[in-house]
Amino acid sequence: MRFDELEQPRVAILGAGREGQAVWRALRARFLQKPLWLFAETDPADEFMARLNPALDHCRVGPFQGGKLRDFDVLVRSAGVSPYRAELRALRDQGVVFTSASNIWFAENPAARTICVSGTKGKSTTAALISHLLRSAGLSTHLAGNIGRPMLDFPDAEVDWWVIELSSYQLTDLSAEPDISVLLNLSDEHVDWHGGSARYRADKLRLAGLAAKGRLFANFADPVLVSALRDRPRTEWFNREPGWGACRLGVSKGSARPVAAPPVLGGEHNRHNLAAALSVADALGIRFSDPARVLSSFRGLPHRLELLGEKGGIRYVDDSISTTPVSVSAALETLGRRDVVLLLGGLDRGLDWQGFARDAAGRPPYAIITMPDNGPLITAQLEYAGVRPPGGLHAAPGLADAVVLARKLVPAGGCILLSPGAPSFPHFRDYEDRGRQFARYAGIEKG
C-alpha cells in the first residue's frame, strides 16, 4: 500500500513507539490537513506528544478495543503489535485493511536495491557488517529497519544499497522482493507474540519465500535452517565449502589465507556473522586486498556486548540488546565465565530456559542475579538443572538493585554483564533505555 492510497481512507496507526512515530511523520508531511489517530498501549514519549496538533492528531492510550478500531478503513500496524491478536484478527475478518511501515516503504521504493538480513540472533551485527564492507568499497548505503532509524524516516535521496534488518515482527506480513536475503539461524523467540513456535519459525522463514527472485544466503552451520531449506533450490550457503566459513580465529574461504576477526567480533557466533557479511560482499563483486585491515575499523553496536568502561576495578559490559537465552550463552562464550556476574531477566515471553540452564550447569558464570518479570522462572529452571555458580544464585527487584548487589559479589578485576535474555518492557522504554540506565547505575554516563 502506497501513500497515495492512504489519502482518502480513515487511517489509524497502531503503536506510538519509534516506528509508529515514523509513520505519523510521513503521513503528516504528505497530508497536512488529514485527521490522524494513534492508538498506543503505553504512554508515548513526551517530546513526541508535544509535536501533535490537537485539532488533527488524536492519541488514545490504553488496551486496543475492536469497537473503536472498527471505525477506520486502514490500520497501520507498528512492528511490535502482533496481527495474531484476537481483536485484530476479528477486524481483518470484518474487512478492515491492515498495512505496516515496512510494507509502505517497500511499495514506495520498488526500485531500491535491498539486502535484507534476519535470524534469531546476530542480525544487527551482520547488517552493520555488510554496511561497513559496502561503504569501505566506496558504495553508498543506508542501514535501516529493525536496527536504528526507521526506513520511513530516511530522505528520498538515492543510495547504492539499502541494508535492512528485519525482525520476525516485520516479516510476518511483509510484501517485498529483496535483491539479496540473509538468514543467519533459527531458534525459538517471541513465541507469545506469534502464538506458538511453529508460527514464529514460519514467519521468520518468510524471508526465503520473499527471496524467490533474488539471492538467498543461509547458514549451513544451523541445522534448523538446513532442514527447513533442504528442498529450496538456489540457496547459497555460508559455513560450507567452497564459501566463507568460520574457523578458529576468524573466517576462511578455500585455500586463501584466513581473515582474523577484529576484537569487537569475539565468539564463534560473530565469526558466523562475518562469514555471512563477506558472502554478500562476494556476491556484489567486492574484493579487498586486505580484508582484516578493512574489518579493523568496524565498531561494535551499542548495547551489543559493549564495554562501557571500568570503574573501581570492575568492567561493565552492556548487552541489553540480548533478548533470548541463546544470546546470553553467546555473550558468556565471548566474555568467558569465571569472573562474570550475570544480570538476567525481563519480560516473560514463555521461552524455554532449559537449554541455557544445562549449559550453565557445567560452565556457570561466577554469579547470576535474576530480575523481574521472569526472574523467578529462570531461577527455578537453573536450580532444577543444578546450576551452582561459585558466587551463588540471587534475585533483585530491579536493575538498580541488581547492580548494587553485583558490585558486592564480583571478584576483583571481574566483570558485571547485563545480558537479560528478555525484552525490556514494561520496565524500560526499550533496550536502549535499559542499557543507558545500566550505564548510569554503573556510574558511567552515556549520551
- Res 155: pLDDT: 84
- Res 108: pLDDT: 96
Helix (H, G, I), strand (E, B) or coil at 152: helix
Instruction: Return the C-alpha cell found at 360.
Output: 550453565
CB 376 within 8 A of CB 395: yes
| Domain 306-442 in this protein, CATH class | alpha beta
Cell 547505575, residue located? 441
- Res 349: pLDDT: 83
How is domain 3-104 classified at the CATH fold level? Answer: Rossmann fold (3.40.50)
Computed over every residue of the chain, the mean pLDDT equals: 94
Is residue 71 packed enough to be buried (19+ CB in 10 Å), middle (13-18) or exposed (0-12)? exposed
Is 268 a residue whose pLDDT tops 70? yes
- Res 187: pLDDT: 83
Instruction: Return the C-alpha cell found at 290.
Output: 586486505
Q: Which region holds residue 419: left if phi is over 0, alpha if psi is between -120 and 50, else beta?
A: beta
Q: Which CATH superfamily is domain 109-296 in?
A: Mur-like, catalytic domain (3.40.1190.10)
The whole model's pTM is what? 0.85
- Res 13: pLDDT: 98
Per-residue confidence band for 190, with pLDDT thresholds at 50, 70 and 90: low
Average pLDDT over residues 171-175: 96
- Res 342: pLDDT: 98
- Res 141: pLDDT: 96
Q: Cα dihedral sign for 43, 422, 348, 225?
A: positive
The residues facing 323 across adjacent strands are none
The residues facing 341 across adjacent strands are 367, 416
- Res 95: pLDDT: 94
| Bond preceding residue 373 cis, omega within 30 of 0 | yes
- Res 191: pLDDT: 73
What tens digit of pLDDT does each residue of 38-75 get?
999 989 989 999 999 999 999 999 999 888 999 999 99
Instruction: Return the C-alpha cell found at 269.
Output: 557466533
Is 408 a residue whose pLDDT tops 80? yes
Average pLDDT over residues 409-417: 96
List phi, psi (to 5°) of 293.
-65, -40
Nearest Cα to Cα of residue 238 among 282, 200, 205: 282
Q: What percent of the chain has pLDDT above 70?
A: 99
What residue segments make up the domains of the chain, in order of their start?
3-104, 109-296, 306-442
Is 447 a residue whose pLDDT tops 60? no
- Res 189: pLDDT: 66
Helix (H, G, I), strand (E, B) or coil at 266: coil
Task: Give dist(CA 266, CA 4) in Å, integer.
Answer: 47
Q: What angle do CA 172, 177, 182 make, to 5 degrees?
A: 75
Average pLDDT over residues 257-276: 93
Per-residue confidence band for 6, with pLDDT thresholds at 50, 70 and 90: very high
- Res 446: pLDDT: 64
Q: What percent of the chain has pLDDT above 90?
A: 83
